[in-house]
């Protein structure tokens, strides 16, 4: 069970931030949702206050937002809630799912339908991350190799630079991906723990909050409440849906940080190795020979991106080839100019 003082503080903080969100959204339907959620959070705080009194504990000191909360509120007023939805969700501000730009989908009509539309996103996200990882490695290392080649013709220098660029980039990408996924998991685990406690202790209040969000999405209020009440009959599915609909969190998108780091390392390495291969094998015209695998890799990456953008594969491939080629030429000529100037 959560500490009642901490839970009271969190609910009061949420209510304060809801009112900030409502002020930012005046004139839109979201403002009414934030106002109602603020009232619900105040009511939830009163419940925790009653629990403290029942145990004979002293009342908490009047709520005053701390420095972190004031900073988040200030940033929310500047950049609007849509840009701050990740930070707000981490601070237990619900309703952030309204800012996720997903294709329109029908509202679930049966308990068994809830959550099904989310079950196929993980594989697509992993594939997309892999394609972009290869692209990052290919473009960055090719530009680095050609830039050095423009300034120094010694293959050993170019090889050393390319290997260093490959390792530095791969480790940087892996470390960044590990920290990102790990932080996301920790945020989810913290939030889901709070939701689990509240769902077990105050299911009626959680159902009311979920009904508010469904109503804000366009569902009839009575139907929204009926669906929320039906959902609460299955605690595990209720917990999953509360995480998605109240906090805007998608458990299906959370994987192992070690797997994410390893995949990022491998993808970046695969891309960065392409322009480096002729130098590794000691080809007599390594620089010229590296152009073909680099160009082929750029085209393949661009064509692969069409899987996610819906554009024609040929056009996407040629566009990526043009962008990567321009980057390579630019760094080559800059390197040549620096080599002459500094040499």
CA distances from 295 to 62, 89, 137, 292, 325 (A): 64, 43, 14, 5, 8
Which pLDDT score, from 0 to 100, does residue 249 have?
Answer: 65
Q: How many domains does the chain have?
A: 2
End-of-domain residue from the set 229, 253, 277: 253
* DSSP assignments along 43-61, one per residue: HHHHHHHHHHHHTTPPPPP
**Number of neighbouring beta carbons within 10 Å of residue 308:** 14
Place of tokens 């996924």: 181
| Whether 85 contacts 25, CB under 8 Å | no
For residue 24, what pLDDT band results from cuts at 50, 70 and 90? very high
Q: What is the maximal distance between C-alpha atoms in the chain?
A: 84
Q: Are residues 77 and 207 in the same domain?
A: yes
Give the Å distances, CA to CA, from 217 to 23, 86, 212. 19, 20, 9
Residue 274 shares a structural domain with residue 211: no
* 86 plus 128 within the same structural domain: no
Q: Which of 194, 222, 253 lies at the terminal end of a domain, its last residue?
A: 253
Higher pLDDT, 173 or 197: 173
Instruction: Among 253, 275, 307, give the residue marking a domain's end.
Output: 253
pLDDT digits (tens, 9 = 90+) for 279-309: 888 766 888 888 999 999 999 988 888 877 7
Residues 156 and 262 both lie in one domain = yes
The beta strand positions in the chain, using DSSP E, are: none
| Domain identity same for 174 and 194 | no
Residues 270 and 148 in one domain: yes
Report, as an integer, the average pLDDT of 220-231. Answer: 85
Cα dihedral across residues 21, 26, 28, 34: positive or negative: positive
Show the domain range for 214.
Answer: 4-117+186-253
Contacts of 275 by beta carbon, 8 Å cutoff, 6+ apart: 138, 141, 142, 145, 146, 162, 290, 293, 294, 297
* 203 and 309 belong to one structural domain: no
What is the per-residue pLDDT for 342? 65
Confidence at residue 210, expressed as pLDDT on a 0 to 100 scale? 78
The reply to whether 207 and 313 lie within a common domain is no
Name the DSSP class of 62.
Answer: P
Mean of the per-residue pLDDT values of the chain: 81
Q: Model confidence over 161-191: pLDDT tens digits? A: 999 999 999 999 999 989 988 887 887 777 7
Cα(162)–Cα(281) distance, integer angstroms: 13
Short-list 11, 15, 47, 39, CA closest to 203: 47
Token pair 């170019």 in the structure block, residue? 158
Do 288 and 230 lie in one domain? The reply is no
Tell me: do 165 and 43 sit in the same domain: no
Pairwise CA distance, residues 74 & 20, whole Å: 9
Check whether residue 15 and residue 159 sit in a common domain: no
For residue 70, what are the CA distances in angstroms to 30, 86, 232? 21, 16, 34
Distance CA 250, CA 98 (A): 13
DSSP string, 300-324: HHHHHHHHHH---HHHHHHHHHHHH
* 246 and 225 share one domain: yes
């Amino acid at each position: 069970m959560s500490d009642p003082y901490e839970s009271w503080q969190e609910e009061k903080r949420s209510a304060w931030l809801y009112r900030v969100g409502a002020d930012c959204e005046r004139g839109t339907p979201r403002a009414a949702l934030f106002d109602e959620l603020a009232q619900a959070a105040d009511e939830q705080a009163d419940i925790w206050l009653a629990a403290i009194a029942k145990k004979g504990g002293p009342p908490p000191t009047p709520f005053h937002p701390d420095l972190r909360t004031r900073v988040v509120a200030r940033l929310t007023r500047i950049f609007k809630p849509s840009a701050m939805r990740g930070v707000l969700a981490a601070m237990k501000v619900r309703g952030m799912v309204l800012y996720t730009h997903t294709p329109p989908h029908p509202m679930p009509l049966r308990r068994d339908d809830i959550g099904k539309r989310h079950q196929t996103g993980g594989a697509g996200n992993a594939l997309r991350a892999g394609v972009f990882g290869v692209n990052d490695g290919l473009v960055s290392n090719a530009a680095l190799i050609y830039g050095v080649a423009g300034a120094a013709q010694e293959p050993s220098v170019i090889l050393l630079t390319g290997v260093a660029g490959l390792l530095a980039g791969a480790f940087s990408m892996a470390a960044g991906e590990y920290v990102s996924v790990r932080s996301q998991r920790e945020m989810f685990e913290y939030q889901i723990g709070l939701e689990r406690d509240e769902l077990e202790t105050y299911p009626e209040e959680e159902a009311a909050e979920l009904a508010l969000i469904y109503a804000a999405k366009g569902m009839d209020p009575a139907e929204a409440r009926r669906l929320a009440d039906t959902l609460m009959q299955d605690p595990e599915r209720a917990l999953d849906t509360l995480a998605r609909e109240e906090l805007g969190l998608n458990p299906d998108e959370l994987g192992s940080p070690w797997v994410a780091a390893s995949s990022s390392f491998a993808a970046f390495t695969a891309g960065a190795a392409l322009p480096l291969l002729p130098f590794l094998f000691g080809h007599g015209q390594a620089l010229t020979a590296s152009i073909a695998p680099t160009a082929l890799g750029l085209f393949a990456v661009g064509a692969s991106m069409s899987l996610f953008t819906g554009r024609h594969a040929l056009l996407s491939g040629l566009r990526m080839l043009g962008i990567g080629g321009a980057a390579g030429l630019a760094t080559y000529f800059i390197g040549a100019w620096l080599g002459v100037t500094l040499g």
